[in-house]
Amino acid sequence: MLCWAFAGISAGHCATPDTLPALIPMPQAVKMNTGHFIFNANTVIRTEDAASPAIAYFRDQLRTQKINTRIITGASATKGKQELLITAAGAAQLPAEGYRLEITSTRIKLTGKQAGIFYGMQTLLQLVATNSNNAIPCMTIEDAPRFGYRGLMLDVSRHFFTVPQIKQLLDLMAYYKLNRFHWHLTDDQGWRLEIKSYPELTQVGAWRVPRIEFSGNTLPPQPGEKATDGGFYTQEQVRDIIRYAAERHIEILPEIDVPGHSMAAIAAYPELCVTRDKSIRVNPGSSFSKWFADGSYEMYVDNSLNPTNEKVYEFLDKVFTEVAALFPYPYIHIGGDECFKGFWEKDSTIQQFMRDHQIKNTHELQRYFISRLNKIILSKNKKLIGWDEIMEGDLDDHVAVMNRFGEKGAITQTKKGIDIVLAPGNNGLYFDYAQSTSDQEPSSHGGDAPAWKAYDYNPAYTSLSPADLQHILGIEGCIWTENIPDISKLQYMMLPRLLALAEGSWTSTGQKDYSRFANTALPAHLAVFDRTGMNYRVPTVFPLFDSTIVTDAFPFEIKQMPVPGAKVYYTLNNRPPGDYDHEYTGPITINVPRGKSITLKTIVVTPAGRRSIVTRTLLDNSQPPNKQ
One-letter identity of residue 74:
G
3 state SS of 177: coil
Q: Of these residues, 337, 338, 397, 552, which one is catalytic?
A: 338
How far apart are the C-alpha atoms of 26 and 16, rounded to whole Å? 14
DSSP string, 6-40: -TTPPTTSS--GGGS---SSPPSEEEEEEEEEE--
3 state SS of 112: strand
Query: Residue 243: exposed, middle, or buried by beta-carbon count in 10 A (0-12, 13-18, 19+)?
Result: exposed
Q: Of these residues, 159, 182, 184, 261, which one is catalytic?
A: 261
Give the number of other CB atoms < 10 A from CB of residue 56.
13
Does 338 qualify as catalytic in the annotation? yes
Pure H helices in 176-294: 200-203, 235-247, 263-268
Q: Of these residues, 187, 229, 419, 530, which one is catalytic?
A: 187
| Separation of CA 393 from chain center | 31
How far apart are the C-alpha atoms of 558 and 539, rounded to whole Å? 13
Give the number of other CB atoms < 10 A from CB of residue 236.
10
How far apart are the C-alpha atoms of 383 and 401, rounded to whole Å? 11
How far apart are the C-alpha atoms of 253 and 366, rounded to whole Å? 23
Among candidates 581, 579, 584, 578, which has minimal Cα distance to 561? 584
Does 182 qualify as catalytic in the annotation? no
3 state SS of 570: strand
How far apart are the C-alpha atoms of 377 and 57, rounded to whole Å? 35
How far apart are the C-alpha atoms of 25 and 49, rounded to whole Å? 27
How far apart are the C-alpha atoms of 183 and 481, rounded to whole Å? 12
Q: Quote the strand ranges of 195-288, DSSP E.
A: 207-208, 229-230, 251-258
Among candidates 36, 103, 152, which has minimal Cα distance to 402? 152
One-letter identity of residue 300:
Y
Among candidates 169, 148, 239, which has minimal Cα distance to 479? 169
Residue pair 184/154 in contact (Cβ under 8 Å)? The answer is yes
Residue pair 562/541 in contact (Cβ under 8 Å)? The answer is yes
One-letter identity of residue 532:
T
How far apart are the C-alpha atoms of 423 and 402, rounded to whole Å? 7
How far apart are the C-alpha atoms of 240 and 354, rounded to whole Å? 44
Query: Residue 58: exposed, middle, or buried by beta-carbon count in 10 A (0-12, 13-18, 19+)?
Result: buried
3 state SS of 350: helix
Q: Is 372 left (phi over 0), alpha (psi -120 to 50) or beta?
A: alpha
Length of the chain: 628
DSSP string, 66-78: T---EEE--SSPP
Half-sphere exposure of 506 (CA within 13 A, CB side): 31
Does 187 qualify as catalytic in the annotation? yes
Active site members: 187, 261, 338
